[in-house]
Structure 1
Amino acid sequence: MDVETSSNPQGLMSVEAVQKALNRSRASVYRYANTDPENSNLPYDPQKLNPELRLDKDDPLLFHPNEVARFAKDVLGIKQVTIEIQQPAETVTHELLRAILAELQSIHELLKNPS
């Protein structure tokens, strides 16, 4: 089984991505998920697929790839589990942060070695 993250910035998997990775129906993924209509964040359950913490019960379910792999291996008994995390696309924010870091590093060097 290959687990591939969806395209969200945190690298978390949507229900559709989990469905595809586990080769199960959408209904099965919801049955596996550790959820409750009244409580958006239940305690960890090793026999369930545990979603990431949600701020609101209406937030979409998102799953960490490691949790999906653990569930597939430990609960479903899938022997071969591979996690492939794809890097998010380069954004203007990444470029700006990289430029800021380079500038800070050059300032640090100048302060460390005054001429």
Structure 2
Amino acid sequence: MATVEPTEPVGLLDIDAVQKLLHRSRASVYRYVNTDRRLLNPPYNPQLLNPEYRQHKREPLLFHPNEVARFARDVLDLKPVIIEVEPRVPDRTEELLTAILAELQSIHQTLKAKV
């Protein structure tokens, strides 16, 4: 069972995480990825590892864990495939945003009660 802590948006895996999960070299992972120099987001290809939608070509390639599992199972024939993403430890920014959200929700409830 492979366990990876994401460094990008929660739940998405970067190239390094995919490399660790598939036990492949970085170069071979890049060979598996569905990319095209002319297209930022090429159409889905079931024989390749399809990254998430990107807004700009400089954005890193990110992969949904289900897509990595599908690719490992269907294309690489790896069995069994279990991908587990560990939740990140909340940092100071996340704690602050959670506190702000709680405060906004209480303000919302107070205003709602007055109406």
Q: Same fold by TM-score, threshold 0.5 exceeded?
A: yes
1:85 is matched with 85
- Structure 1 residues 1-115: aligned runs within 5 Å: 1-2=1-2, 4-111=4-111
Cα deviations by residue, 1:48-84 (Å, 9 ceiling, x for unpaired): 1001122223332221111111110111111211121
Alignment check: 8 A CA contact 2:14 2:62 kept: yes
After TM superposition, give the deviation of residue 86 of structure 1 in Å. 1.7
Alignment check: 8 A CA contact 1:5 1:65 kept: no
Cα–Cα, structure 1 residues 113 and 60, in superposed 2: closer, same or farther, change >3 Å? closer
Using the size of structure 2 for normalisation, the TM-score is: 0.79
The Cα RMSD (Å) is 2.2
After TM superposition, give the deviation of residue 100 of structure 1 in Å. 2.5
What one-letter code is carried by the residue in structure 1 that aligns with 2:60? P
How many residues are paired up? Answer: 114
Percentage of matched positions with identical amino acids: 60
Alignment check: 8 A CA contact 1:39 1:57 kept: no
Using the size of structure 1 for normalisation, the TM-score is: 0.79
C-alpha separation in 2, matches of 1:112 and 1:53: 38
